[in-house]
Amino acid sequence: MLKTYSALAPYLKRHRLSYLFGLISLIITSGGQLFIPQYIKRMVDTIAQGSFSPADLMRPLVFMVLLALVIGIGRFGWRFWLHGAARRIETELRADLFSHMTLLGDSYYQNHNTGDLMARGTHDLHQIRMATSMGLVAFFDGVFMTIAILVIMLEQNSELALFTIIPLPFITVLVLGLGKAIGSLFRAVQESFSRLSGQSQETFANLKLIQGFVKEQYFIKRFADANDQYQIQNLRLIQVWGFLFPLVTFLSGLTTLILLWVGGGKVISGSLSPGEFVATLNYLQMLIWPMLGAGFTVNLLQRGKTSLIRVQEIMNAAPEFTTDEGLLDECKPFSQSMVLSKVCAEYNETRVLSDISVSINAGETLGVLGPTGSGKTTLIRLLLRLVEPCDGEITIDSTPYGNVEPRSLRKRFGYVSQDSFLFSDSIRNNILFSLGEERGSVSEEHINKIIAISGLQQDLDQFPEGIETQIGERGISVSGGQKQRIAIARGLMSNPDILILDDSLSAVDAQTEEHILSHIMAIRRGKTTIMISHRVNALRLSDTIIVLEQGTITHQGSHAELLRKDCYYRDIYNLQQSEDDTEAQL
Ligand SMILES: Nc1ncnc2c1ncn2[C@@H]1O[C@H](COP(=O)(O)OP(=O)(O)OP(=O)(O)O)[C@@H](O)[C@H]1O
């Protein structure tokens, strides 16, 4: 348990003052409570003597009111400091988790469900917060109050104390014994919650598809099953927890019975004063909470431990590539060539690219054509260092890729991906996304030029607030073609050294594609562009075109050179030409 919690040491250390003040407040609160039975004892004994004046009761009464005030302040203090520190730790942990997750690679996310990761970032962090606040309070009460009460009782009347505490060791054994079971049951609860989150996330992310295939009932049933599982796991936990609680209460009740039996006899025989009897009864009642607190502590700490392990599993996952901040700015502008020599790539030990050798010269355009699944996007991932080659070497301006900090390398690229993800933000902010701090200095004239090149102007004219129109969750939905055009504008905005267009105009018609591409070629003159497309017409102006088939380059050359060869490129060209001719005749 301690080993697991040591992961929190840096966070606890940062908030040690809050914890110190919180613990002092807790000692004041608990210590103050220990005095109350003493005053009650004095008052009862005074009353039991039969002859007393109201002034005799006044002093203890005033003290008790003052004590209640101190206890109240102490209670506020520990809540303020301990809950405050735990909240801050939760916030810091969440921030660290989030930034670490941004460094994890593609393969990590492929093997981990998004819903599960989200559950760890929310539900599990909540449990850690409970352990670092209420868990600590319960632990303190369990230890400090139990010891203090036992010492007072033993001092007051050791024989009575020893008799009445006979059931207490049973409580400890019970709590510790069931603690382990609670831990594993809680892990099952958290895992079923992760499954539930995962299914919800997947369902709502693909709702249109589900509705399109009229598969709502199937998903409702799937969710209901996961929901039932979550309930079953929770009920199992409740059963054990529910068994523990009454048993501890029963055993605590036994202590009161013993007191009434043994203590009552002592009062009658005169060896115990009525005040001492009432005080002991009070102390025993005060013991119930720390006794329960022990169970509560075990429960909270076990839950916290389980959750911490789940969060640590993410934090301990190594980033796909090491990021040496010192190297961040060392990658100079791309000026010569990028060379791939005999490069291969794998996913989960399955080879998808082999023996790739190609040179991309600065200022030139490389076209990539290939059937679906032939490895075109994987080639781009290699260039962006999102995937490491399993063999061979990639260099940029003669520097091996392994010596270049990945983020620094990626800054040289502008990547327009196939799926054109847009953020729920204004179109302007989506377009300016790649600029970072330079956003403020970009002129409206430049923005308008990029919009025109991307063929976006007509779309913006239709939108209610033009470029300021919100898209996504908080705004309008855009069509697939509009999405791609906005993504193109985003890729062009920073005028990157190397622009990658990964089949990024597949949702616009061939004519519009040609129109946009001719403008892009014009503005990119002297800069490097890598273009993947299924349309030969889009690639024909490239300086070099490679044909990828089943993970290898089968042909490469210019448009004219490839047309002279009997190859996939020429077949596709002929096919698309005849399609265009047929369309023209219609
Ligand atoms: N993350 C991944 N994990 C495992 N296999 C993958 C992964 N990404 C792609 N693949 C597999 O690698 C092969 C090449 O995929 P890739 O996406 O590079 O092809 P592509 O030529 O870009 O296809 P498309 O034209 O359909 O986009 C395919 O067989 C694909 O199933």
Domains 2-315 and 420-495 share a fold: no
**Among protein residues, the one whose CA lies closest to atom 4 of ligand 1:** 347
**Among protein residues, the one whose CA lies closest to atom 23 of ligand 1:** 373
Task: Give the distance (Å) from ligand 1 centre to CA of residue 279.
Answer: 76
Residue 499 three-state SS: strand
Sheet order of strands, 544-549 included: 413-416, 498-502, 528-532, 365-369, 544-549, 552-557
Minimum mean pLDDT among 181-190, 302-311, 378-387, 576-585: which range?
576-585
Task: Give the distance (Å) from ligand 1 centre to CA of residue 352.
Answer: 7
Which of 376, 416, 505 to mutate to test ligand 1, by most ligand atoms within 8 A of the CB atom?
Answer: 376
**Among protein residues, the one whose CA lies closest to atom 2 of ligand 1:** 347
Task: Give the distance (Å) from ligand 1 centre to CA of residue 450.
Answer: 31
Task: Give the distance (Å) from ligand 1 centre to CA of residue 526.
Answer: 31
Check residue 586 and give its pLDDT: 61
Minimum mean pLDDT among 178-192, 206-220, 300-314, 527-541: which range?
178-192
Task: Give the distance (Å) from ligand 1 centre to CA of residue 569.
Answer: 20
Check residue 108 and give its pLDDT: 84
Q: Tell me phi and psi for residue 565, to 5 degrees.
A: -100, 150
Check residue 208 and give its pLDDT: 79
Minimum mean pLDDT among 174-178, 492-496, 566-570: which range?
174-178
Task: Give the distance (Å) from ligand 1 centre to CA of residue 577.
Answer: 27
More confident residue, 402 or 383: 383
Which of 108, 347, 382 to mutate to test ligand 1, by most ligand atoms within 8 A of the CB atom?
Answer: 347
**Among protein residues, the one whose CA lies closest to atom 17 of ligand 1:** 377
Minimum mean pLDDT among 25-29, 372-376, 576-580: which range?
576-580
Residue 394 three-state SS: strand
Per-residue pLDDT for 256 more than 70? Answer: yes
**Among protein residues, the one whose CA lies closest to atom 9 of ligand 1:** 378
Quote the CA–CA distance of 439 and 520 in Å, as a whole number. 21
Model confidence band, residue 378 (pLDDT cutoffs 50, 70, 90): very high
Per-residue pLDDT for 453 more than 80? Answer: yes
Task: Give the distance (Å) from ligand 1 centre to CA of residue 263.
Answer: 80
Model confidence band, residue 584 (pLDDT cutoffs 50, 70, 90): low
Check residue 330 and give its pLDDT: 58
Per-residue pLDDT for 14 more than 90? Answer: yes
Check residue 293 and give its pLDDT: 67
Tokens of 329: 């700015």
Mean pLDDT value across the chain:
85
Percent of the chain with pLDDT over 90: 24
Q: How many helices (H) and strands (E) does the chain have?
A: 26, 10
Check residue 90 and give its pLDDT: 92
With a CB cutoff of 8 Å and minimum separation 6, the contacts of 497 are: 333, 334, 362, 412, 413, 527, 528
Minimum mean pLDDT among 259-263, 328-332, 415-419, 461-465: which range?
328-332
Average pLDDT over residues 451-474: 83
CA torsion 96-97-99-101 (nearest 10°) is 160
Per-residue pLDDT for 65 more than 90? Answer: no
Query: What is the length of the chain?
Result: 586
Per-residue pLDDT for 474 more than 70? Answer: no
Percent of the chain with pLDDT over 70: 94
> What kind and span of H or E run contains 359?
strand 350-361
Minimum mean pLDDT among 311-315, 393-397, 433-437, 580-584: which range?
580-584
Ligand 1 site: residues with CB under 6 angstroms?
Answer: 106, 110, 347-348, 352, 370, 372-378, 418
Check residue 403 and give its pLDDT: 81
In a 10 Å sphere around its CB, with 0-12 CB exposed, 13-18 middle and 19+ buried, how is residue 288 labelled? Answer: middle
- Give strand pairing partners of 367: 531, 545
- Domain edges within the chain: 2-315, 327-412+497-586, 420-495
Average pLDDT over residues 484-505: 88
Range 327-412+497-586 classified under CATH 3.40.50.300: yes
In a 10 Å sphere around its CB, with 0-12 CB exposed, 13-18 middle and 19+ buried, how is residue 313 labelled? Answer: exposed
Q: Tell me phi and psi for residue 349, to 5 degrees.
A: 65, 10
Answer yes or no: pTM beyond 0.80. Answer: no
Ligand 1 atom having least distance to the Cα of 378: 18
Check residue 182 and give its pLDDT: 77
Average pLDDT over residues 146-157: 87
Which of 349, 374, 379 to mutate to test ligand 1, by most ligand atoms within 8 A of the CB atom?
Answer: 374
Pair 425, 419: CB distance under 8 Å? no
Task: Give the distance (Å) from ligand 1 centre to CA of residue 96.
Answer: 32
Angle formed at CA 573 by CA 567 and CA 578, multiple of 5 degrees: 130
- Give strand pairing partners of 396: 338, 399
Quote the CA–CA distance of 156 and 262 in Å, as a whole number. 15
Ligand 1 atom having least distance to the Cα of 381: 18
Tokens of 94: 């969440």
More confident residue, 388 or 474: 388
**The listed CATH number (3.40.50.1370, 1.20.1560.10, 3.40.50.300, 3.20.20.70) that belongs to domain 2-315:** 1.20.1560.10
Per-residue pLDDT for 322 more than 70? Answer: no
Per-residue pLDDT for 249 more than 80? Answer: no
For 420-438, write each residue's pLDDT tens digit: 788 888 888 888 887 766 6
Ligand 1 atom having least distance to the Cα of 375: 18
Model confidence band, residue 548 (pLDDT cutoffs 50, 70, 90): very high
Model confidence band, residue 340 (pLDDT cutoffs 50, 70, 90): very high
Check residue 105 and give its pLDDT: 79
For 286-320, write each residue's pLDDT tens digit: 877 777 666 677 778 888 888 999 999 999 998 86
For 207-240, write each residue's pLDDT tens digit: 878 888 888 888 999 999 999 999 999 999 888 8
Ligand 1 atom having least distance to the Cα of 380: 18
Task: Give the distance (Å) from ligand 1 centre to CA of residue 377.
Answer: 7
Pair 378, 371: CB distance under 8 Å? no
The alpha helices in 352-398, defined as continuous H runs, are: 376-383
> From residue 68, how far is each of 35, 43, 65, 145, 524 by CA, in Å?
10, 17, 5, 17, 78
Per-residue pLDDT for 325 more than 60? Answer: no
Determine what percent of the chain falls in helix, strand and coil, rounding each to the nearest 5.
Answer: 70, 10, 20
Per-residue pLDDT for 149 more than 80? Answer: yes
Task: Give the distance (Å) from ligand 1 centre to CA of residue 347.
Answer: 9
Task: Give the distance (Å) from ligand 1 centre to CA of residue 368.
Answer: 15
Check residue 421 and give its pLDDT: 83
Residue 247 three-state SS: helix
Using the structure block, give the residue that is written with the tokens 């039975």. 37
Check residue 583 and give its pLDDT: 63
Which of 346, 349, 356, 377 to mutate to test ligand 1, by most ligand atoms within 8 A of the CB atom?
Answer: 377
**Among protein residues, the one whose CA lies closest to atom 14 of ligand 1:** 375
Average pLDDT over residues 511-518: 80
Q: Which fold has domain 420-495?
A: Rossmann fold (3.40.50)
Average pLDDT over residues 122-134: 89
Model confidence band, residue 6 (pLDDT cutoffs 50, 70, 90): confident
Per-residue pLDDT for 477 more than 80? Answer: no
Check residue 473 and give its pLDDT: 64
Task: Give the distance (Å) from ligand 1 centre to CA of residue 378.
Answer: 6
